[in-house]
A and B are shown apart, each in its own frame.
Chain A
Amino acid sequence: MLLTVLSFALLIQTPQGAPRTIAIDEAFASQAHLKVGDRVTLSARPDTPADSAEVVIVGAIARRGADPSEVARGDYVVRMHLDQLQRIAGYGDRVDRFAIATRPSADVGRTLEQINHVAFGFRAYRSKDIAVETSRTFQVVSRFHRAIGIITIVASSIFLLCIMVLKVEERRRDIAALRLMGISRLSVVRSIVIEAGLVAVLGSVLGIVIGWVVSLVVNWHYQALYRTPLYFSIITPSIVAFAVALSLVLGIGAGLVASARLARTPPLALFGR
Chain B
Amino acid sequence: MRATLAQASLIRHRARTILAVLGVAVAAAMLLDMVMLATGMRESFRELLLVRGFDIRLAPKGTLPFDTDATIPHVSAITAVLRGNPDVRDISAVLGGSLHIEADGRDVSAAVLGIDPKVQGDYELVAGRDVASADAIVVNEYLLRELGAKLGDTLTVATGFDAQTRTYAGQKKLVLTGIARFIYGAAEQSSAAVRRETLEAMEGQKRRDRASLFMVKVRQGANPDSVRKWIEGHIPNVTAISIATAIAQVDQRLSYFRQLAFILGAVSLFVGFLLVTTLVTVSVNERAGEIAVMRAIGVSRLHVVEQVIIEGIAISLAGALFGLGLGLITARYLNSILSEFPGLPMAIDFFLFQPRAAWSALGLLVASGIGAGIYPAWRAASLPIAESLRREAIA
CB nearest neighbor in B for A136 = B342
Interface residues of A in 82-136 (CB under 8 A from B): 120-122, 136
A155 to B395, CA, bound (A): 37
| Partner-binding segment picked from B131-139, B141-149, B159-167, B304-312 | B159-167
Residue from A45, A155, A161 within 8 A of B271 (CB atoms): A155
Q: Within 8 Å of chain A (Cβ to Cβ): is B359? A: no
| Partner-binding segment picked from A7-15, A16-24, A165-173, A184-192 | A165-173
Residue from B22, B163, B260 within 8 A of A121 (CB atoms): B163
Q: Within 8 Å of chain A (Cβ to Cβ): is B86? A: no
| Partner-binding segment picked from A34-42, A57-65, A145-153, A199-207 | A145-153
Q: Which residues of B contact A155 (CB under 8 A)?
A: 23, 26-27, 30, 268, 271
A179 to B159, CA, bound (A): 88
Assess the A148–B334 pair: CB atoms within 8 A. Answer: yes
Residue from A2, A121, A136, A158 within 8 A of B67 (CB atoms): A2
Assess the B64–A2 pair: CB atoms within 8 A. Answer: yes
| Shortest distance from the beta carbon of A159 to any chain B beta carbon, whole Å | 5
Contact status of A143 and B337, CB under 8 A, knowing A151-B330, A170-B285: yes
Assess the A46–B62 pair: CB atoms within 8 A. Answer: yes
Interface residues of A in 242-271 (CB under 8 A from B): 271
Q: Which residues of A contact B255 (CB under 8 A)?
A: 225
CB nearest neighbor in B for A44 = B70
| Shortest distance from the beta carbon of A137 to any chain B beta carbon, whole Å | 6
Assess the B23–A120 pair: CB atoms within 8 A. Answer: no
Contact status of A159 and B271, CB under 8 A, knowing A166-B278, A173-B395: yes
CB nearest neighbor in B for A167 = B282
CB nearest neighbor in B for A221 = B259
Q: Which residues of B contact A147 (CB under 8 A)?
A: 330, 333-334, 337
| Shortest distance from the beta carbon of B41 to any chain A beta carbon, whole Å | 13
Mask of B322-356 contacts with A, CB within 8 angstroms, 1/0: 00000000100110011011100000000000000
| Shortest distance from the beta carbon of B349 to any chain A beta carbon, whole Å | 14
Q: Which residues of A contact B337 (CB under 8 A)?
A: 140, 143-144, 147
A227 to B3, CA, bound (A): 55
A225 to B114, CA, bound (A): 38
Assess the A165–B67 pair: CB atoms within 8 A. Answer: no
| Partner-binding segment picked from B13-21, B211-219, B366-374 | B13-21
Q: Within 8 Å of chain A (Cβ to Cβ): is B68? A: yes
Contact status of A165 and B15, CB under 8 A, knowing A74-B253, A151-B30, A170-B282: yes
Q: Which residues of A contact B377 (CB under 8 A)?
A: none
Question: Helix, strand, loop or mixed for chain A's interface?
Answer: helix
Contact status of A46 and B60, CB under 8 A, knowing A121-B165, A162-B23: yes
Q: How many A-B residue pairs have CB under 8 A?
A: 99
Assess the A148–B264 pair: CB atoms within 8 A. Answer: yes
Q: Within 8 Å of chain A (Cβ to Cβ): is B61? A: yes
Assess the A121–B62 pair: CB atoms within 8 A. Answer: no
Q: Within 8 Å of chain B (Cβ to Cβ): is A213? A: no
Question: Helix, strand, loop or mixed for chain B's interface?
Answer: helix
Residue from A1, A122, A148 within 8 A of B62 (CB atoms): A1
A209 to B268, CA, bound (A): 20
| Shortest distance from the beta carbon of B211 to any chain A beta carbon, whole Å | 13
| Shortest distance from the beta carbon of A3 to any chain B beta carbon, whole Å | 8
A151 to B264, CA, bound (A): 11
Q: Within 8 Å of chain A (Cβ to Cβ): is B174? A: no
Interface residues of B in 251-303 (CB under 8 A from A): 252-256, 260, 264, 268, 271, 274-275, 278-279, 282, 285-286
A137 to B342, CA, bound (A): 6
Q: Within 8 Å of chain A (Cβ to Cβ): is B76? A: no
CB nearest neighbor in B for A74 = B253
Interface residues of A in 45-75 (CB under 8 A from B): 45-47, 72, 74
Q: Within 8 Å of chain A (Cβ to Cβ): is B361? A: no
Q: Which residues of A contact B237 (CB under 8 A)?
A: 46-47
Q: Which residues of B contact A74 (CB under 8 A)?
A: 252-253
Q: Which residues of A contact B162 (CB under 8 A)?
A: 121
Assess the A162–B338 pair: CB atoms within 8 A. Answer: no
Residue from A120, A151, A222, A271 within 8 A of B164 (CB atoms): A120
| Shortest distance from the beta carbon of A223 to any chain B beta carbon, whole Å | 12
A74 to B64, CA, bound (A): 11
A154 to B63, CA, bound (A): 44
Q: Which residues of A contact B333 (CB under 8 A)?
A: 147
Mask of B28-48 contacts with A, CB within 8 angstroms, 1/0: 011001000000000000000
CB nearest neighbor in A for B33 = A151
Q: Within 8 Å of chain A (Cβ to Cβ): is B73? A: yes
Assess the A46–B16 pair: CB atoms within 8 A. Answer: no
Assess the B163–A165 pair: CB atoms within 8 A. Answer: no
Q: Within 8 Å of chain B (Cβ to Cβ): is A163? A: yes
A74 to B260, CA, bound (A): 20
Q: B-side interface residues toward A, CB under 8 Å? A: 13, 15-16, 19-20, 22-23, 26-27, 29-30, 33, 60-64, 67-68, 70-71, 73, 162-166, 237, 252-256, 260, 264, 268, 271, 274-275, 278-279, 282, 285-286, 330, 333-334, 337-338, 340-342, 395
Task: List 13 interface pairs A-B (beta carbons < 8 Å), by A numbering.
Answer: A2-B64, A46-B61, A122-B163, A136-B340, A136-B342, A148-B334, A151-B26, A151-B30, A156-B271, A159-B271, A159-B274, A161-B19, A162-B279
Inter-chain pairs besides A72-B256, A170-B285, 15 sampled, C-beta below 8 Å: A2-B67, A46-B61, A122-B164, A137-B341, A140-B341, A148-B264, A151-B26, A154-B26, A155-B268, A159-B23, A159-B275, A162-B16, A162-B278, A163-B278, A169-B282
